[in-house]
Structure 1
Amino acid sequence: MSSNLLGTSVDAVLTAVLDDEPDVLFVVNPPGEAIEQIVESAKAFEGDLPTIRLLGEERLLKDVMGDFIVASNTADLVEDGTLELRVLEDSTRSAVLATEDRTVALLEAGGLVGGLTTDDAEFTETAYEATTEDWDSAEEFNLRTPGITRVRQTLEDEIDPEVEDDFDSVLASMETARGDGDGLDEVTISLLVAAKNRVLLYDVSKWGEDVGIASKATFSRTKTKLEDMGLIDTEKVPIDVGRPRLRLKLSDNRLEDAPPDELASVAQSVLS
């Protein structure tokens, strides 16, 4: 059985496999960074994508999907039926890409990820059948994050196109959106952008809950936290019936003067 090196990056390996136009591509036990790169490459691929079935260790999947940028792009692929996620019970399995005609082992060395591939008919058939059995017995991974396309569209439709543009610019300027002490999460980003555009707290929190980003209560708690930190403020807006609503606004001149693509970095510098 012969084998060949199929590229020295996840993108190169995945693209080479996708160029064969398989109907189904299994991705088994990839490392976290590889999951991110597979999602990125699949989103950027210009041809027709197969059904991608990713089997990953649950704790790893939860950690990777803790980044809103990765999770929302993953959700895009899930929502359009391209990507399916299930939980791999055996975390000792080798990282493999498997189609009916090719088996590719992902190998890491010196910061590079290579794909060692074989198209031996007997081996690939056995590997594909075994992977299919593992898939059939695996439980679905519950990805709760909404797809980024739906987030953008509803933000534009329900809040304002300028708010959507600012939200997109902020995300594009960030490497991660985790909110774990090293960055800003999606709720904080939404509130900062809303405050920059003087949106009502009720409107942005209702949008956020409806689209699946977080509950109204989470938006309210985060708003209070950002107020206590001196990043945003509110002003009361009377309404015909009921209690006045709160309009969000930025309370730090550095944030007010920052363009959208610098809002996240300026906010982080204010918080540090």
Structure 2
Amino acid sequence: MAEATLSTGHRLTLQLACIAARCLTPPVFERPVEVMGLHFAAPLSIAAGFDRFGRLGRRAGALGFGCNEIGSLDLAAIAQLSARTLRPGTARLGINLSLTPDISLTALRAGLARAWPLADYLTLNLIGPRSTALLGAELRPRLRQLLAAVRSEQQHLDRPERRVPLAVKLRCLPGQVPLELAELLLELGYDGLLVAHDPGPPATRQRYHAWQTDVRQAQACAQIEQLRRLCGGQMALMSVGGIQSAEHLQARLAAGAELLQVHSVLLHAWPWHVQRLLDGGKPA
């Protein structure tokens, strides 16, 4: 969706974030992390969907975030990203790309080639409405083909002086932990797995408040622990969905996640509650 189609609250929040990023001095980060071969100044990131076309971009670092993942975008939509996406800043920039069953290998390679020079890392989104068909048994060979083609293109585009890691975003719900797909990513040599602990839209206030229960948070942490045991140190593990407090952040990190992403809390509790969350990411 274009920026004009955002809700009024979302649009105003994004505008506020952009203004604040221009006015604030980047903070002194106290908890840097090394993930996927990249240095992140802080473990907390902005999730895809908040800043879809990179209006805030790398300047999110001035707000205390270690990364800003823009998108999700169809591969053809990469051409819509303007030079502002490349503005300097202290945050890493990820681009979240939709992967669909009908994309040709030629279009796939062309889109990756356009995204590669813009991003610090790329995420293939497999939780969107058009993407989830790839997760069915009938299309599993097609999924393997596409994932292998992306890895091949990564190896073609990467240079000794600059490597762009690849991650995949998968849904992770109670009783539906994507262990088989994680094993496929390990086999193909992917750099990271981004697990989404939420069932998806609509992002209502009722569902936002539902994440404040200890049961929901413990379920997310148990899923992370299960995936961490499978991935070991071979693949980075990232978590998004339901992080609303410093306690939630610390629990996800303790469970084995290395990078955390937030979205709803930016819309429902910006900016003061978010600052408390960021402060909670500092070591005791």
TM-score norm. by structure 1 comes to 0.27
Q: Which is higher, the Rg of structure 1 or of structure 2? A: 1
